[in-house]
Structure 1
Amino acid sequence: MTATSTADVARLPLMLGELRLPTIARLWPDITARADKEGWPDARLLSALAELELADRARRRIERHLAEARLPSGKTLATCDFAAVPTLSKAHVMALAAGTEWLERGVNLLMFGPPGSGKSHACAGLGQALVENGYRVLFTRTSELVQRLQLARQAMQLEQAIAKLDRFDLLILDDFSYVARDQAETSVLFELIAARYERKSLLITANQPFGEWGRLFPSPAMTVAAIDRLVHHATIFEMNVESYRRRSAASRKAVKQFDPVTDPPS
């Protein structure tokens, strides 16, 4: 190797750092050694390095987006018990997980059911699948987001705060029914719904059906307007089944009480 080529190699890590190509900077010695050994054409070597950089960049992007999504830990579609919720079609949810057309049209998803019916698990699993497919998602309790928007309104920055949420393809509002009936709270929530209408998707979980939403908003007109915007382009899931948590607790209790010595199988 000539002095010039040695100098070029010595400068390579610095240049790759300037170009923000950390994967190539880390792997190029091994890849180029293999290319020399196997006699790769220059184009194949360049293509291999570019593919490794792009793959690692995609992995890092997904990691960042999963972190910002604030999804509940361990709640994935793989661990979702679809058999326990017959009204929730696994095939339908998996199709939604691919994203594409429904997110581009700003279609909403609404999940209704009693506490413990698996709503939060299903939407968290769907959210993770969407992030892994390249979309940006935010999971939040509705009451927490409302508090943040109220603070933004007090600082005269509500419009900017709602606009910042546009970076998320899907906004998951969990426990929608638990928002207190307060003029300030429900008005910022209504403004969020109106701002995303027909542009960006919402996924809402609620324990109460539409007929009970009158207690969430201070006026019938606001209630009707909010529901109208949510259901105009929406898929609705009714998950009125026995509490998943209650069934799981009962199963654990039955297993604990069973003694293979004193209670042998019949």
Structure 2
Amino acid sequence: MSATGTRPTLAGISEPAAAAAISAACKTLYLTGTAKIAASMAEEAARARLSHQGYLAEVLTFECDQREDRRRDRRVKEAKFPRPKRLEDLDLAHIPDLPPATMTQLAGGSWIDAGEPLVLLGDSGTGKTHLLIGLGTAAAEQGRRVRYITTAALVNELVEAADNKELSRLVGKYARLDLLCLDEVGYVKLDTHGAELLFQIITAREERASIACASNANFSEWGQTFTDPRLAAAIVDRLTFRGHIINTGTDSYRLKTTRQAQKG
């Protein structure tokens, strides 16, 4: 557009000059996807006898798709999952308490939009962490802000923030997430101070933003983790109210998978 704000006059331009102008414009506008495919798409458009408007639509649609892919990848990276896990890689036959219809509902993420909690209970190796990461990944790819962290790591982070007088900032940071994936609840015994700090995170998200947690201990055993029975009861109450509770059972999913692979 010219300095006067009117549309510039279209004039004849050679193909090399046009390619150079497109490259320069893409660099200025940060159109990284378009810069790579503009020339090849122009050739395809010519072969398909697309109009100028049709070609422009194809290029801009490609750029939008590329940006969405990068945004999705960035959300997954920001979630800090320890390893890639996808829901479609999990054999639901090993988790009778999770029928396909329930899995489809959870994967859709409506429970996250409603601020409902999710608790995964089961013995070690039964697929809890796979489910937790898989659901978190699906949520991140749908555009939600997700963070995965173990209970012990979160408590350590909270204690350090409290010591540095930055607790309010950190609690606010976790409160703004769409989904907090809290793994290994009950694996490590927490002192009273650590348990109270964790309770602040849970309270800050109560009925507003979802927490998905995984534990190998039944609710009746959480008092051993949080030391104070009243605090343990309050945490259980907040993580189960209007929540989804999935029992992954006692049979090790990893052990079954290994044995099947050996038989195969």
Q: TM-score range by the shorter chain?
A: 0.7 to 0.9
- What is the match of residue 232 of structure 1? 241
Task: Report the Cα distance in structure 2 between the residues aligned to 1:16 and 1:252, rounded to whole angstroms.
Answer: 50
List per-residue Cα deviations over 1:192-214 (Å, max 9, x = no partner).
Answer: 10011111111111111111111
Task: Report the Cα distance in structure 1 between the residues aligned to 2:205 and 2:89, rounded to whole angstroms.
Answer: 30
Q: How far does residue 17 in structure 1 lie from its aligned partner after superposition?
A: 1.8
Computed over aligned residues only, the root mean square deviation of the Cα atoms, in angstroms, reads 2.4
- What is the match of residue 192 of structure 2? 183
Task: Report the Cα distance in structure 1 between the residues aligned to 2:260 and 2:55, rounded to whole angstroms.
Answer: 57
Distance 1:182 1:31, change over 3 A: same
- Provide the secondary structure at the position in 2 that maps to 1:12: helix
Equivalent of 2:96 in 86, 93, 99: 86
- What is the match of residue 96 of structure 1? 106
Matched-pair contact (CA < 8 Å) for 2:175–2:209: yes
Could you tell me which amino acid in structure 2 is paired with residue 219 of structure 1? D
TM-score by length of structure 1 reads: 0.85
- What is the match of residue 5 of structure 2? none
Could you tell me which amino acid in structure 2 is paired with residue 92 of structure 1? T
Could you tell me which amino acid in structure 1 is paired with residue 163 of structure 2? Q
List per-residue Cα deviations over 1:146-180 (Å, max 9, x = no partner).
Answer: 11121111111112112223453211111101232
Kindly indicate whether residue 165 of structure 2 is the aligned counterpart of residue 156 of structure 1. yes
Runs in 1 of length 4+ with deviation above 4 angstroms? 1-9, 248-253
- Provide the secondary structure at the position in 2 that maps to 1:102: helix
Matched-pair contact (CA < 8 Å) for 1:87–1:238: yes
TM-score by length of structure 2 reads: 0.86
Equivalent of 2:81 in 56, 63, 71: 71
Q: Structure 1 stretches of 5 or more lacking a match?
A: 257-266
- Provide the secondary structure at the position in 2 that maps to 1:86: coil
Q: Which moved more, 1:45-54 or 1:20-29?
A: 20-29
Q: How many residues align?
A: 254
Equivalent of 1:204 in 213, 219, 224: 213
Matched-pair contact (CA < 8 Å) for 2:19–2:39: no
Q: Which moved more, 1:142-151 or 1:9-18?
A: 9-18
Task: Report the Cα distance in structure 1 between the residues aligned to 2:56 and 2:165, rounded to whole angstroms.
Answer: 52
- Provide the secondary structure at the position in 1 that maps to 2:43: helix
Distance 1:8 1:244, change over 3 A: closer
Matched-pair contact (CA < 8 Å) for 1:85–1:241: no
Task: Report the Cα distance in structure 2 between the residues aligned to 1:240 and 1:118, rounded to whole angstroms.
Answer: 9
Equivalent of 1:242 in 251, 254, 258: 251
Matched-pair contact (CA < 8 Å) for 2:174–2:201: no
Could you tell me which amino acid in structure 2 is paired with residue 46 of structure 1? L
Equivalent of 1:41 in 21, 34, 51: 51
Q: How far does residue 145 in structure 1 lie from its aligned partner after superposition?
A: 1.5
Distance 1:102 1:6, change over 3 A: same
Task: Report the Cα distance in structure 1 between the residues aligned to 2:181 and 2:16, rounded to whole angstroms.
Answer: 54
Q: Structure 2 stretches of 5 or more lacking a match?
A: 1-10
Matched-pair contact (CA < 8 Å) for 1:93–1:126: no
State the percentage of identical aligned residues.
31
